[in-house]
A = this chain, B = another copy of it.
Amino acid sequence: MPGSAVSPGPVAVDTMGGDHAPDEIIAGAVTAVREHDVRLILVGQAPRIKQQLDRLGVAGQIPIAHADEALAMDEGALASRRKPRSSVAIACRLIRQNRASALVSAGTTAGVVATSRLRLRGQHGVTRPAIAVVLPTRPRPTVLLDAGATADVKPETLVQFAALGTAYAQVRHGVDRPRVGLLTIGAEPGKGNKLIRRAHELLTAAPPGIEFVGNIEGDDLLGGKVDVVVTDGFTGNVALKTIEGSVRLALAEVEAAIGSSRRARMGAAMQRRPLRELRDRLDSGTYGGGVLLGLNGTVVIAHGASNAKAITSACVLAHDLVRGNIVERIREQVAAARPPRFGRRHGDRDHPAPERDEPPSAD
């Protein structure tokens, strides 16, 4: 493992969440350690984890934190209070104690969000967390948030989400000034529902650090026109799942179409490989999973159906976000974007924007 002056804590991996827990989770984590130099701590039933590490030939090489219980797949927001000793709760405690820097879980989204929200608490200045997902756009990726953490929001919360998404695109995709769009139902400023119209006004007032470029409609979500798309957690989740269902339908129909005649079937045989690669790329199991932003700690929520490969990716992502100081970057972005009337601090910004010192106009 590469030495560094101040090494961030290890990534805590919840071995009890997901359809293929714990074996695939542990296998994926081990690959992250072996091939990507990621420091980890495995959280879950210690005897079971030891057994699997033994089988994989790395007995004693990865630290373990014991947890008795998993969040059940059908548990929601109340799970956290009921299960203070769940693997996710234990992982959050490690983060609070500075014994871990991030959490990776393939557990149920609602349970992971509720538990980590309760136990990690929101970062200073962040009133609601958001789940960021990366859409399969080309050539540049687009970050969509919120994909489902907070269903009912205020317009001001959407401005915060813009700050979270900006920090995320900077750290994850290396975009210097990410272009931010607002998901709505028409290109013109006056389009949308009340929430979105007001959020548009606030974003048009150009909060420092946020490069707002206007409205994005559903049919442009995958057009790669912006780096960040902001929406509430209800609309964002509907949109994300609609993408998944639509792509699945389209590819299934393609398979049916190219199997529809002898001539077409012969053609299909020649295309098996490119089509399989395409399915992998558009498959939600690959691009799926999200990062819960805005808490005192980084939380990567892997897809429930994650296999070992997806878990390895999630561990590497958590590691990269921690090294990119995502929590600190969010703190800076949110502090910068906050209107002066809430007492914005100037001292901790690299690029003060004095021309923005007037209160944002709401015309």
Q: Which of B188, B239, B244, B274 contacts A239 (CB 8 A)?
A: B239
Assign chain A's interface to a size class. Answer: 35 or more
Q: Is the interface of A mostly helix, strand, loop or mixed?
A: helix
**Assembly of this chain: how many copies?**
2
- Of the stretches A40-48, A189-197, A204-212, A348-356, the one at the interface is A189-197
Q: Report the minimal beta-carbon distance from A110 to chain B, rounded to whole angstroms.
A: 7
Convert A268-299 into 0s and 1s, putting 1 for each residue whose CB lies closer than 8 angstroms to a CB of B.
11110111011001100000000000000000
Contacts of A263 in B (CB 8 A): 270
User: How far, in whole Å, are A191 and B266 apart by their CA atoms in the complex?
Assistant: 46
Asked whether A185 is an interface residue with its Cβ less than 8 Å from the other chain, the reply is yes
Interface residues of A in 190-228 (CB under 8 A from B): 190-194, 196, 217-223
Question: How distant is A318 from chain B, measured CB to nearest CB, in Å?
Answer: 25
B234 adjacent to A219 (CB under 8 Å)? no
A248 to B247, CA, bound (A): 9
Residues of chain B lying within 8 A (CB to CB) of residue A175: none
Does A181 make an interface contact (CB < 8 A)?
no
Name the one of B152, B240, B271 contacting A258, with C-beta atoms under 8 angstroms.
B271
Contact between chains at A241 and B219 (CB < 8 Å): yes
A196 and B234 contact, CB distance less than 8 A? yes
Contact present for B274 and A261 (CB under 8 Å): yes
CA distance A254 to B193 in the complex (A): 35
14 further A-B pairs in the complex, CB-CB below 8 A; given A152-B194, A253-B278, A268-B271: A218-B243, A218-B245, A219-B244, A219-B248, A220-B245, A221-B242, A221-B245, A239-B242, A242-B242, A254-B254, A257-B277, A258-B274, A264-B273, A267-B267
